[in-house]
């Protein structure tokens, strides 16, 4: 299911309604909560993008000064060059924001060459980490430079099967990956259901994806499968929205998750 452009949080408050994708924000008094940022499709190309992304990161820091880290759901760069990927890595490092990316199809130089990404972000394909009682799973859903009618690789599926033996099925779990997993979303992998079948065995709360450059939301059990707008200097959104930005998530100690969209134009 895909959706057209929705109003911003500020606009929703102004008109007295609720934005289509606005999830209720947890009270600031939740001492067990952590904040983190999820962004996608930055499509870094050159020094002009450096200035743009530096401003993005300044805004992130100002808006969510307590954010513990950033999850990037792929297409960090536009052509997979090591220089572009290093620039993005260094911008986040200089800002003191731990950066957890997964590759997108634009993080390949050619379909068989992901050398730039692998050199700059070693071990950042399929991986997990835990923080504040939450389980985070990063999934590589790419098939080289292909952008549609793709298949999530057998290596990724086998890795997920391995993790099923080691991950805690009770911990609330947040997943981020490039290609959308929600039913009916454009450019969903042909075998997305095989990924979902593995994830729903966990205490899945959210899957954050990019690639489509637009907001969509699909419920599955108690979880949400979403895609998000891009945050690139030159790229546009496919949902008709002019807004570019990122989401700030708040994960509480009791397993609840809320988020808000932050627009560069706000």
Please check the confidence at residue 23 and state whether its pLDDT lies above 80. no
Q: What is the CATH number of domain 9-263?
A: 3.60.21.10
Residues β-bridged to residue 113: 110
Pair type for strands 257-263 and 245-251: antiparallel
Q: Can you give the pTM of this predicted structure?
A: 0.89
Cα separations (Å) of 90 from 61, 107, 135, 200, 226? 15, 16, 26, 35, 28
Residue 2 has pLDDT above 80, yes or no: no
At residue 76, φ and ψ (nearest 5 deg) are -60, -45
Q: Which residue has the tokens 């394909």?
A: 125
Query: Within its chain, how far is the Cα of 143 from the centroid?
Result: 18
Starting at the edge strand found earlier in the chain, the sheet holding 216-220 runs: 127-131, 134-139, 172-177, 203-209, 223-227, 216-220
Average of per-residue pLDDT across 95-121: 98
Query: What pLDDT sits at residue 27?
Result: 43
The per-residue pLDDT for range 239-258, each reduced to its tens digit, is 999 999 999 999 998 999 99
Angle subtended at Cα 141 by Cα 139 and Cα 147, rounded to the nearest 5 degrees: 150
Q: For residue range 189-205, list pLDDT tens digits in order.
A: 999 999 999 999 999 99
The mean pLDDT of the chain is: 90
pLDDT digits (tens, 9 = 90+) for 125-153: 999 999 999 999 999 999 999 999 999 99
């Amino acid at each position: 299911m895909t959706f057209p452009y929705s109003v911003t949080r500020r606009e929703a408050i102004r008109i007295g309604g609720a934005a289509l994708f606005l999830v209720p924000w947890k009270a600031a008094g939740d001492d067990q909560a952590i904040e983190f940022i999820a962004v996608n499709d930055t499509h870094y190309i050159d020094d002009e993008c450096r200035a743009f992304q530096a401003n993005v990161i300044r805004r992130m820091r100002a808006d969510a000064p307590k954010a513990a880290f950033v999850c990037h759901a792929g297409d960090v760069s536009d052509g997979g060059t090591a220089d572009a990927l290093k620039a993005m890595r260094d911008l986040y490092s200089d800002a003191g924001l731990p950066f957890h990316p997964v590759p997108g199809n634009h993080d390949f130089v050619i379909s068989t060459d992901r050398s730039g990404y692998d050199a700059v972000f070693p071990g950042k394909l399929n991986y997990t980490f835990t923080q504040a009682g939450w389980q985070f799973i990063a999934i590589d859903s790419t098939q080289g430079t292909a952008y549609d009618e793709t298949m999530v690789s057998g290596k990724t599926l086998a890795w997920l099967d391995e993790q099923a033996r080691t991950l805690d099925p009770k911990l609330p779990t947040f997943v981020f990956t490039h290609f959308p997993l929600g039913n009916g979303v454009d450019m969903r992998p042909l075998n997305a259901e095989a990924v979902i079948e593995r994830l729903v065995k966990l205490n899945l709360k959210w899957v954050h994806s990019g690639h489509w450059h637009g907001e969509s939301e699909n419920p599955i059990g108690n979880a949400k499968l979403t895609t998000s707008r891009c945050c690139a200097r030159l790229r546009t959104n496919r949902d008709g929205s002019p807004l570019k930005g990122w989401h700030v998530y708040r994960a509480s100690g009791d397993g609840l998750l809320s988020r808000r969209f932050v627009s560069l134009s706000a």
